[in-house]
Structure 1
């Protein structure tokens, strides 16, 4: 986690460090539907999106 984020949250960035990770709904959809490229979900291509 960037030191500025830790500082804004009230933590001393010289003393603490962190990692941020997660499995968003887009990544789950990629696994479920076999989508190869995450950007496909955000291009607003009706032909692709109408499949879901």
Structure 2
């Protein structure tokens, strides 16, 4: 289970915000609360959090 996703910022994203990708690079990362809940509550499928099923969501 991936808890902390990360990766390099695409050069086009840097160009779009006014940076020269030949001179700078970017690193992005983030931690989703859904993934922490998956570990805590033993949930196998992250998609359950995004199906808007209140029977599931109201448990938390």
TM-score, reference length from structure 2: 0.64
In structure 1, the residue matched to 2:17 is: 9
Higher helix share: 1
| Number of residue equivalences | 52
> SS at 1:17's partner residue?
coil
> SS at 1:11's partner residue?
coil
In structure 2, runs of 5+ residues without a counterpart are: 1-8
Q: Which protein has greater RCO, CA pairs closer than 8 Å, 6+ apart? A: 2
Which 4+ runs in 1 deviate beyond 2 A?
Answer: 15-19
